[in-house]
Chains A and B, each alone.
Chain A
Amino acid sequence: MFVLKPQSGVPIYRQIRDQVRRLVASGQLAPGAELPSVRDLAVRHAVNPMTISKAYSLLEAEGLLERNRGRPMTVASQAKNSSQLSKRLQQVQPLVEQTVLAAKQLELSETDLLKSVRQNWENGDE
């Protein structure tokens, strides 16, 4: 379910948090869906369980996840609705920044970039 890169500069808990947000926002994790337990995830990816539990706690505080006694964490039923447009835009913001910066470094114009974006958008729909 998750792709974890321990050697990245991004702390693991943040990687999990961002990925859960994306998956919930895109609907791949529906409300009520169960997430793997802390221990399972830790052993499978060979990472510290506390970092996973930290990510889960933060997501619970955000309202994205629900804790159930004796059972694994599940996606909160209000999750998708509470994910407003602004929050979802926040998800892609870093990627947009990177793309814009790269384009500027390559001395592409705004029009060129938008053309490429539109092309990709239409290709993705097929």
Chain B
Amino acid sequence: MNDMAVQASHLSKSFGPKQVIDDLSFEVSRGDVIGVLGKNGAGKTTLLELMLGFTPPSGGAVSVFGHASGQLPGGVKSRVGFVPQQDELLDQLSVADQLKVIASFYEAWDANLIERLCAEWRLDPKARIKSMSVGERQKLSILLAFGHRPDLLVLDEPVASLDPMARRQFLEQLVDASADGQRAIIFSSHIVSDIERLANRIWILKDGRLNWHGDLDSIKESVVRLHIRGAEQVLAGLSVPGALSQRHEGAFATVVVRDWTPARQHSIEESAAVEVEVESLGLEEIFLELHR
């Protein structure tokens, strides 16, 4: 059995003249929890859709559990779960009926888990979907993707409409699902704090390319803000390689760098005769700086 959940090489997608995804290559192993960040229109949804075969790539290839995404056999499909950005529930049905309809497509459906989560998340099985609020609909969409215990879970903005408590419940559930290290989870979100909690790897999509892909821990250690103190003339002429932004006021300068290592601190201090203090940044700050 192939251990690679998803594998892509030189993946690209364009809609007419517009290049949405440009030459992406990546691997997702079982046990990874990947958070996909990007501005609106950066191509997050398109990327997730390419991965699962909803839309054919314009170039390159992507495969899921060893099979090409466009032709996934039934066995592989039952190992994949997807939560779309806009729910696809059947308005006229009740919650219980909708669950039963989807459950009937899968051989392995964990009814106990679904029942427990319905109670915890306060979804009334008899409620009509068309009378439910947006948050409840989203919770139901998430449940529909969990029920068959997929090995690969792909979620497109799953918590956009959930209140903080519902979000926390959902996160706890995802944590539980990822705890055995056998599942691969890929989710895109605007809510950076959720990604910070949950992901161990980060993909930052900018203009269709992976601006950053790597461990969350290493991105926090690599993108830092430097507070530099020194003589004004020295600071004015200071150039730090890999700087994303630089600000200079009198005897102080603030520089945000990527690819930072602790060794560079000494080399800068010695070569320029300045004092450097390193401030680590949260993921939201990092995201903003990378998009400046």
Which residues of A pack against B, CB within 8 Å?
6-14, 38-39, 42-43, 45-51, 54, 101
- Among B252-292, those with CB < 8 Å from A are 277, 279-285
**Shortest Cβ gap from B11 to chain A (Å):** 26
Q: Which of A11, A13, A39, A48 has the largest count of B CB atoms less than 10 A from its CB? A: A48
Kindly list chain A residues whose C-beta atoms are within 8 Å of the C-beta of B179. Answer: 38-39, 42-43, 49
Kindly list chain A residues whose C-beta atoms are within 8 Å of the C-beta of B200. Answer: 48, 50-51
**Shortest Cβ gap from A51 to chain B (Å):** 6
- Contacts A48-B175, A49-B179, A101-B277; is A11 near B220 (CB within 8 Å)? yes
Q: How extensive is the interface on chain B, given as a class?
A: 20 to 34
Which residues of B pack against A, CB within 8 Å?
31, 33, 168, 171-172, 175-176, 178-179, 181, 192-193, 196-200, 216-217, 220-221, 224, 277, 279-285
Of A8, A14, A48, A49, which contacts B282 at CB under 8 A? A8
Kindly list chain A residues whose C-beta atoms are within 8 Å of the C-beta of B216. Answer: 11, 51
A7 touches B284 (CB 8 A): yes
B197 touches A50 (CB 8 A): no
**Shortest Cβ gap from A70 to chain B (Å):** 16
Q: Which 4 A-B pairs have the closest CB atoms?
A: A9-B280, A11-B217, A6-B196, A46-B171
Q: List 18 A-B contacts (CB under 8 A).
A: A6-B193, A6-B197, A9-B220, A9-B282, A9-B285, A14-B217, A39-B176, A43-B176, A46-B171, A46-B175, A47-B175, A47-B198, A48-B197, A49-B175, A50-B33, A50-B178, A51-B200, A101-B277
